[in-house]
Structure 1
Amino acid sequence: MRQTFKLYLLLGALIATHISASATEGMWLPHLLGSLNEKEMKGMGLKINASDIYNVNKGSLKDAIVSFGGFCTGEIISSKGLLLTNHHCGYDAIQKHTTLENNYLDRGFWARTQREELPNPGLTATFIVRIEDVTKQALAGVSGNLDERGRQSAIDKNLAAIKSSAKKESWQEVLIKPFFEANQYFLFVTETYKDVRLVGTPPSSIGKFGADTDNWMWPRHTGDFSMFRVYAGKDNKPAEYSLDNVPLQPKHFLPISLDGVAENDFTMVFGFPGRTNEYLPSRAMQLTVEGQDPARVGVRDAALKVIDGYMRKDSQIKIQYAAKQASMANAWKKWIGEMQGVQQTGGLQRKLAYEKRFTEGVQANPALRKEYGGLLDSLNKLYDDLAPYAVARDYYTELVRNTEILNMANNVVNLMQDVRAKGEAEYPALRDKFLASTESTFKNYSTAVDKDVTTALLDLYFKEVPSNKIGGEGYQIWMETNKDGKTTADNIFSKSALTSYDALKAFLSRPYATVATDIWKDPATRLLIGLRNGYAELVSKPHDAIQSDINRLQRRYMQAQMDVLKDRRFYPDANSTLRLTYGKVGGYSPRDAVEYDFMTTLDGVMEKYKPGDYEFDVPEKLRQLHASKDYGQYGQNGKMPVCFIASNHTTGGNSGSPALDAHGNLIGLNFDRTWEGTMSDINYDASICRNIMVDIRYVLFVVDKFAGATHLVEEMKLVHPKKSKVVPVRRKAA
C-alpha cells in the first residue's frame, strides 16, 4: 500500500481531464480553490478570484465566515461585528431569554441599542485564520505494519508535535483534522470570540413558519434568520464577556446585494458542513437506508407524537420543549427523506454500477490488482457483519437520548464512574459540578411528557431489539414489570429520585458509599444500568471490533478509488471544517408531473396562513404589509421574494451559511435542503439535490419594514452588483 497520499499531483492532473462528478457536487477546501476549482467556477459565472475568497495576507470572504457555536455557520454583515445566522441556529439562545412575560419566541426581539443586546454565556464565534497541509508531518514514521491502535498512537504523537510548533498568536488556537479517511491532514489556526450577544429575532411565526410540516420541504416560506453581534476586547481580540467589550472590527464583512437572483445565476455557499459519507461502499449505503434510518425514524416518530400532543395543548410545555422538539424532528424528517431520496434516484443501483467500474479498473491493471484485489468485497462483507449490531446500537442510543429520565440516569452513572476513576475524595466537588450543570435541565422538563415518552419508547425498544442484544439484567427488569412500557414507566416515575432537581440533589447529597449502593435500587438508574451493561457487552463491543476493521479498509478503499478512477475528481467528506460549494439557481422535478420553480414569495405565505395554528399563523403586521404591498426597496415586480433554491451541495452545519453571488455579495441565508435531496450526505444527485435559502431581501424587509429595526440595516453595505451601484446609507431624521 502506498504510504504517501499524493493528493496535489493527482487532483492537479484531473483538472485537464474529463470530470465525471457533477459540476455542482463537492465541498471544497477554500485554500485549494485556486488550483482546483477557479477555472471551472469562472466558467460557471464567478466574477472574483480565488484569492478574494481565501487569503491570509489581506481580508477575504473567509474572514467574514464563522463557526457559530460549533454547530452552525454565521457571517459578519457589518463593520461593527453584526452577525447573521439562522433562527433555528439561534433558537436555544432565544429560548433561554424567553419567559411567559417576555416571550421572544412568539413575539420576537429587537435590541434598539447595543446596550440592549443580550449576552449568551457559552456561545462562541470562531474564525479561520489560515489552513495548512501537514500530511507529511502527521504521517511521518507511520508504516503499513502498524495495527489501527498503533497507527493512531503514532499519528497522535506527530500531531501533538505539530501543534506545539505551529506559528500562532497567544490568543489563537490550533486544530488538526483528518481528511480522505485519515489519508491526509490539515491544520487550522482559529480565533474564537466568546462574547456573542443576541441582537434580534423575528417571531417564530416568521422564523419558523411552517415548522415541522414544511421542514425539509419545497416550496418553503420561512424567514429563518436571527442576528447576533460579536464583541471583542478594546484591542479587538477575543475576550470573555464584559460590559467594557466593544463590537468586533472584522477583517472583512459581506456586502449585501439587493438585486436578487434569477434562474441559472451562479451561487456559492461558504460554511462549516458537519458530516458526509460520499465514498461508502454499497453495503454501507444499504445498511443506512434499510436498517439504521428506519430504526431511528421509528423511535423518534413515537417520541414526537407524544411531545407534539402536549405542546399543542399546553403553552408552558410548548416553551419548555420547543428546542428539544425542533432538534428531534429535524433529524427524524431528514432520515425519512434520505431513505426516499436514495430509492427515488436509484442511489443503490448507481453505487453498484460505480463499484463495477472500480472493480473492472482494478482487474485491468496487474499492479492495482495486486494492491487492491478483493478489497471492496472484504469491506462490503464487514458491513454485512456490522448490520445487526449497528441497528441495535441505534435503537439503544435513540432510546437513551430521547427518554429524558434514562438520559439523566446515564449522566448519573457517568458521574459515579468518574468518581471511581478519580477517587472517593473527589466526590463532593464532582457532584456539585454535576448538579450545577443539571439544574437548568429541569427548567425545561415535564414528568408527564417524559413518562408518556418513556412508555412508548420502552414498548418499541423491547419489541424491535432481539433479547440477545439486550442482555439478562435489562430483560429481567422488563419481565418484572410484565413486559409493558406503561407498567415500567409507572414504577420508575413513582419511585425514582431523578424526576426533579430537588429530589436528585437530595439523592446525591448523601455520603458517596450510600449513593453508590442506592444507585442500584433507584428504578431509573437500575434499568439504565441493566440496559447499558447489556448494550456494552452484546452490542458495543462486537460493533466496535468490526468497525475498527472497517475503518482500516475504508481508508484503503478511499486511496484505492483515487488510484483507480483517475477520471473522477475527489473532494474530502465534510468534517465541520470550512468549505465552499458552488452551483446555480434553478428549480427541479422530483417525480413525474411535478415541477418546482426556484423562488417563493410572500403570496405563498398568505396562501398557507391558518389563523391560530402554531405552524402557519401569520402576524397581523405582516398581513398588513402584504395587503398594502409595502415592500419598500426589497420587493421585486410587486412581489416580496421569500426563499429560493440552488444546486449547492450542503449538509448539517451549513445552516446559517451565507449564499453568495458571483461577486461575493450576500444574496441569501442557507437553512435547509429539499426533502428529496437529503440523501446528498451519502448520495449526491444534481437532478434533485437543492439547498434552500431565505432571500436576503426578505431578511431586510422583515428587519426594516416589519420590525422597524432600520438602524441595523443602516449598519450594512447595500449594493446593486447587476447595476454596478452602491445604495446610499439612509440616515435617521434629526
Structure 2
Amino acid sequence: MNLKKQIWSVLLLFAALGQVYADEGMWVLKELNKQNLARMKELGFTPTYEQLYSETDPCVANAVVIFGGGCTGITVSQEGLIFTNHHCGYGAIQQLSSVEHDYLKDGFISQSKEEELPVPGLTVKYLRQTIDVSERINSAISKIDDEYKRLMAADSIGNVLCDSIGVDEFKQASVIPFYSDNKYYLIVYNVFRDVRMVFAPPSSVGKFGGDTDNWMWPRHTGDFSIFRVYANANNEPAEYSKDNKPYSPKYVAEVSLQGYQDKDFAMTIGFPGSTSRYLCSWGVQQRIEDENVPRIEVRGIKQEIWKKAMSESDAVRIKYASKYAGSSNYWKNSIGMNKGLARLGVIARKQEQEQAFAAWVNQDPQRKAKYGEVLDLLKEGYTSANEYQRALVYLLESLERGTEIVGLARMVNSFDAAGSTDEERQIFLEDRIKPFFKDYEPTLDQQVLAAMMQIAKERIPAQYLPDEFAKIDKKYKGDYKKYAADLFKKTKLLSYDNIVKLISDPKKNAKLKKDPAFSLSLSSFVALIELRQKMNDSSDKISKGERLYLAGLMEMYPDKTFYSDANFTMRASYGSIGGYRPYDAAWYDYYTTEKGILEKQDPTNDEFWVQEEILDLVRSRDFGQYANKNGDLQLCFLTNNDITGGNSGSPIFDKNARLIGLAFDGNWEAMSGDIAFEPELQRCIGVDIRYVLFMIDKWGKCPRLIQELKLVK
C-alpha cells in the first residue's frame, strides 16, 4: 500500500473511531445543541429544552443535586426529600450506626420528621449558575508560552472571579476547566448543611451481592437511601437547627409507576467525576501499568486484612464498613479497567488515532507550526514520568491512604495549635478527631501498617522510599511487624485525650515531632513531595500536549460534536433501555425481578444473606401497584447511558422526564469505558423506582413518604 493510501485508510479509521455516537457523551446541559436535541427527540424525549434546562425558570435540572462529596441525588418532594443510592448514603448510615442501633444491618425507618436523624458534615448542593468565562480567561493567557505559568494565571483569574461573587459556607463557587483547559465555566452552588437521614433499607437489600456482584449484571440490589434537606425560616441554607424547616425546592421530579420497555428513551442527569476519553496511547499505558497495577495489589492486601477482622467482630464491621466499601469499589474498577482495555485493544486504537492526527498535521505548514510538537510532548511527558508515577501510587496506596495512623499524625501536625483560638481547637477536635476515633481500631491498623511497610519496601525503588525506612531497617532488621508493634506502643496519638493535650499545650505539642507515627508521616510526605517535584516537567508537557491535542482534533473534524471529559459538573446522558451481548452465545435481558433474590440468597454467605422477613415479603408476591404487567416486581434495569463514578444516585428519567430509577453501577465488560466508550457493551445499571417504593411501602410501612411524592400511575 502506498503512502497516500495508508494516510487515507488511517484517516477513515480515525473518522470511524472518533465518531461521537449519538448516545455517547456526558453533555453539559448548557451546551446541548440541535444535533443533541434532535437525537433525543428521535429516541422519544418529549419535553422542550427549556423544560429540561433553563437559567431563569424552574426546570428538571433544578431537582438534581450533588449529594455529599462525590454522588448525585434527586429531589422528589416539595419538602426537600432526596433519593440517592444506598452506597452514597453508606457513610452517613455507618456514621449514625452503633452496635445497639445497627442501621447498616437492620436499616432505618423514620415515621415522622421528628425521627429523622441529622448527619453531621453531610451536605447537599443545588446548582445555582453556570457562566462561560472562557473569553475572559483565554484572552489573558493566550500569549503565555510556559504551560505552568499559563495554568497558574488561569487559576488566579478564576479565584478573582469566584471572590467577586461573594462566596461563603453556604455558597460555593469555582472556575472549572473543560476540554483539556481550552474552555472555562464559573460554577456556583447553594450549599445546604442541615441534611437528615430519613430511610435506609438494610444492607441485605442496599448492598445485596456485595463485592461479588459489584460491577456485575444481572443485579438484584436495592441500592437506594433517602434523606431530607432542611433550610432556615427564609428557605435558605443554614447550619443544623431544630428550628429549621424542610427545604422547598425550585423543582420536584415526578415519579413514574408506568415502568418501561425495551428500547424506551432513558436519560440520566448527574455529576460524573472523571473520564479520559481523549487520553493518548502513552497515557493509557501508564494508567494500566503504573496506576492500576499498584492500586490493585496494595488494596487487595489491605482489604484482606480488614475483611478478616470485620468478619470476626460486629463492632469492627460497623467501624470499617464504609472504608472497606470505598476501597473495594475502586479496586475492582481498576481490575476490570485493565482487563477491558486489553480485551478491546484500546492502546492500538489510540495509536491509530494518533497516526491519523499526525498525517493531518503534516499536510499543512500552519498546522505543523501549531500542532507539530503535540505527539512528542505527550510521548515524552508520559514515558519520562512512568517510573515516578508507579512509585508515587505505591507510596500513596500503602502509607498515605493505606495506613490510618499516618493520616492521623498528618492531621494533628497540620493543625496550627500555637496560632489557633480555643474555639478553633474545639471545632478541630469535634469535626476531625472525634469522628476519626469513632471508626478506628488501632490493633487492626497495626496489622495493616506492617503489611503496607512490607509492600512499599518491595515495590518502591530504594531512591524513592521515605528516609524513615533506612532507620527502621537498621533498627528492626526489616521486621515490619516488630516495628509496627513498637510504633503503636510508643505513639501518643492513640488517645483522644492525649491529642487534646498535644494541641492545647505548646510544650507537649513540641514533643510531637519525636513521636514515631509523626516521624513516619513526615518522612512519607517528604518522599511524596519529592516524587511530585520530579514529575513537574513531565506534567507540564502532558498538560500542554493534551490541551493542543484536543484543540487540534476539534479543528480536524469541525463538523463533529465533541463533549468535554467528565469533571464532576452537571451532565446529561441520553440513550435507551436495552440488554446486551457480553460474549459469544450469551444475551443479557434488560431487567431483573424478585426471582433473582430467591435464587441468589444464601444464609451462609454474608454478601447474599437476607432477613427472613424480607424473603417472606418477596415470596408473598404482594407487590400491589409496584408490579409489572406479569405480576413480577422489577428490581434493576439496563440503559446505554454514558456514566461514570459520581453518577451514582443520578436520576434515570423516561421520555417525559419522569423518574423511573436511580443509576448505581456500570457493567464489568465495559470497565474501560472511562477511557473508551463501547456502545455495544457499555451499560448503566439502575435500581427500578418501583422497587424503591415497594420497600418504603411494604417493608418500611412508611406511607408518609409515598404521599409526599408526585406519583404518575
Question: Same fold per TM (> 0.5)?
Answer: yes
Equivalent residue number for residue 581 of structure 2: 589
Is the alpha carbon distance of 1:354 and 1:120 closer, same or farther for their aligned partners in structure 2, counting shifts above 3 Å?
same
Q: Determine if contact 2:593/2:633 at 8 Å carries over to the other structure.
A: yes
Give the CA deviation at 1:559: 1.1
Deviations 1:400-422 (A, max 9, x none): 2121112212223433xx56xxx
Within 2, Cα distance between the matches of 1:378 and 1:34? 33
Give the CA deviation at 1:434: 4.0
Equivalent residue number for residue 315 of structure 2: 316
Equivalent residue number for residue 449 of structure 2: 454
Is the alpha carbon distance of 1:113 and 1:691 closer, same or farther for their aligned partners in structure 2, counting shifts above 3 Å?
same
Q: Determine if contact 1:34/1:51 at 8 Å carries over to the other structure.
A: no
1:331 pairs with 2:324: no
Match of 1:530 among 499, 502, 523: 523
Q: Determine if contact 2:80/2:228 at 8 Å carries over to the other structure.
A: yes
Within 2, Cα distance between the matches of 1:589 and 1:482? 54
Within 1, Cα distance between the matches of 2:700 and 2:169? 41
Which deviates more from structure 2 when the two are superposed, residues 253-262 or residues 478-487? 478-487
Name the TM-score, length of structure 2 as normaliser: 0.93
Give the CA deviation at 1:425: 4.8
Give the CA deviation at 1:426: 4.3
1:606 pairs with 2:598: yes
Within 1, Cα distance between the matches of 2:168 and 2:427? 32
Q: Determine if contact 1:178/1:186 at 8 Å carries over to the other structure.
A: yes
Count of residue pairs the alignment pairs up: 695
Equivalent residue number for residue 414 of structure 1: 414
Is the alpha carbon distance of 1:192 and 1:339 closer, same or farther for their aligned partners in structure 2, counting shifts above 3 Å?
same
Is the alpha carbon distance of 1:74 and 1:150 closer, same or farther for their aligned partners in structure 2, counting shifts above 3 Å?
same
Within 2, Cα distance between the matches of 1:582 and 1:19? 19
Match of 1:566 among 555, 558, 562: 558
Q: Determine if contact 1:124/1:193 at 8 Å carries over to the other structure.
A: yes
Q: Determine if contact 1:273/1:654 at 8 Å carries over to the other structure.
A: yes
- For 1:380-399, list aligned pairs within 5 A: 380-399=379-398
1:276 pairs with 2:275: yes
- For 1:688-703, list aligned pairs within 5 A: 688-703=681-696
Q: Determine if contact 1:34/1:50 at 8 Å carries over to the other structure.
A: no
Equivalent residue number for residue 6 of structure 2: none
Give the CA deviation at 1:698: 0.5
Equivalent residue number for residue 669 of structure 2: 676
Match of 1:640 among 633, 638, 641: 633
Give the CA deviation at 1:459: 1.0
1:124 pairs with 2:119: no
Within 1, Cα distance between the matches of 2:641 and 2:671? 12
Q: Determine if contact 1:194/1:239 at 8 Å carries over to the other structure.
A: yes
Which deviates more from structure 2 when the two are superposed, residues 154-163 or residues 195-204? 154-163
Match of 2:702 among 709, 713, 723: 709
Q: Determine if contact 1:581/1:649 at 8 Å carries over to the other structure.
A: yes
Within 2, Cα distance between the matches of 1:249 and 1:31? 25
Q: Determine if contact 1:467/1:475 at 8 Å carries over to the other structure.
A: no
Match of 2:458 among 460, 463, 467: 463
Equivalent residue number for residue 3 of structure 2: none
Q: Determine if contact 2:159/2:175 at 8 Å carries over to the other structure.
A: no
Give the CA deviation at 1:508: 4.7
SS at match of 1:288: helix
- For 1:540-551, list aligned pairs within 5 A: 540-551=532-543
Within 2, Cα distance between the matches of 1:145 and 1:101? 61
Equivalent residue number for residue 29 of structure 1: 28
SS at match of 1:182: coil
1:76 pairs with 2:75: yes
Is the alpha carbon distance of 1:173 and 1:465 closer, same or farther for their aligned partners in structure 2, counting shifts above 3 Å?
closer
Give the CA deviation at 1:146: 4.2
Give the CA deviation at 1:579: 0.5
Equivalent residue number for residue 143 of structure 2: 144
Give the CA deviation at 1:166: 5.2
Give the CA deviation at 1:171: 6.8
AA of the residue aligned to 1:91: Y
Match of 2:568 among 566, 569, 576: 576
Equivalent residue number for residue 620 of structure 1: 612
Within 2, Cα distance between the matches of 1:77 and 1:429? 38
Give the CA deviation at 1:165: 5.1
Give the CA deviation at 1:187: 2.0
- For 1:354-369, list aligned pairs within 5 A: 354-369=353-368
Within 1, Cα distance between the matches of 2:479 and 2:587? 48
Give the CA deviation at 1:132: 2.2
Is the alpha carbon distance of 1:238 and 1:426 closer, same or farther for their aligned partners in structure 2, counting shifts above 3 Å?
closer
Equivalent residue number for residue 238 of structure 2: 239
Within 2, Cα distance between the matches of 1:629 and 1:33? 43
AA of the residue aligned to 1:556: L
SS at match of 1:645: strand
Q: Determine if contact 2:22/2:36 at 8 Å carries over to the other structure.
A: no
Equivalent residue number for residue 161 of structure 2: 162
Name the TM-score, length of structure 1 as normaliser: 0.90
Which deviates more from structure 2 when the two are superposed, residues 154-163 or residues 330-339? 154-163
Q: Determine if contact 2:380/2:538 at 8 Å carries over to the other structure.
A: no
Equivalent residue number for residue 477 of structure 1: 472
Give the CA deviation at 1:77: 0.8
Which deviates more from structure 2 when the two are superposed, residues 615-624 or residues 499-508? 499-508
AA of the residue aligned to 1:375: V
Q: Determine if contact 2:502/2:512 at 8 Å carries over to the other structure.
A: no
Give the CA deviation at 1:122: 2.3
Give the CA deviation at 1:325: 0.7
Give the CA deviation at 1:113: 1.0
AA of the residue aligned to 2:708: E
Equivalent residue number for residue 650 of structure 1: 643
Within 2, Cα distance between the matches of 1:491 and 1:236? 54
- For 1:187-336, list aligned pairs within 5 A: 187-336=186-335
AA of the residue aligned to 2:654: D
SS at match of 1:461: helix
Within 2, Cα distance between the matches of 1:128 and 1:430? 30
Within 2, Cα distance between the matches of 1:611 and 1:143? 64
Q: Determine if contact 1:19/1:569 at 8 Å carries over to the other structure.
A: no
Within 1, Cα distance between the matches of 2:524 and 2:123? 36
Give the CA deviation at 1:641: 0.6
Give the CA deviation at 1:589: 2.1
Give the CA deviation at 1:18: 12
Q: Which runs of 5+ in 2 are unaligned?
A: 1-15
Give the CA deviation at 1:167: 10
1:557 pairs with 2:549: yes
Give the CA deviation at 1:613: 3.0
Give the CA deviation at 1:553: 2.2
AA of the residue aligned to 2:30: H
Q: Calculate the aligned-residue CA RMSD, in Å.
A: 2.3
Give the CA deviation at 1:432: 5.2
Within 2, Cα distance between the matches of 1:505 and 1:239? 29
AA of the residue aligned to 1:31: K
AA of the residue aligned to 2:711: L
SS at match of 2:567: coil
Within 1, Cα distance between the matches of 2:680 and 2:72? 26
Q: Determine if contact 1:175/1:190 at 8 Å carries over to the other structure.
A: no
Q: Determine if contact 1:477/1:527 at 8 Å carries over to the other structure.
A: no
Within 2, Cα distance between the matches of 1:26 and 1:233? 38
Give the CA deviation at 1:75: 0.6
Within 2, Cα distance between the matches of 1:508 and 1:189? 36
Give the CA deviation at 1:702: 0.7
AA of the residue aligned to 2:269: F
Give the CA deviation at 1:139: 2.2
Within 1, Cα distance between the matches of 2:622 and 2:170? 47
- For 1:339-354, list aligned pairs within 5 A: 339-354=338-353
Give the CA deviation at 1:603: 0.7
AA of the residue aligned to 2:590: F
Q: Determine if contact 2:172/2:189 at 8 Å carries over to the other structure.
A: yes
Within 2, Cα distance between the matches of 1:158 and 1:524? 40
Is the alpha carbon distance of 1:446 and 1:18 closer, same or farther for their aligned partners in structure 2, counting shifts above 3 Å?
closer
Is the alpha carbon distance of 1:188 and 1:426 closer, same or farther for their aligned partners in structure 2, counting shifts above 3 Å?
closer
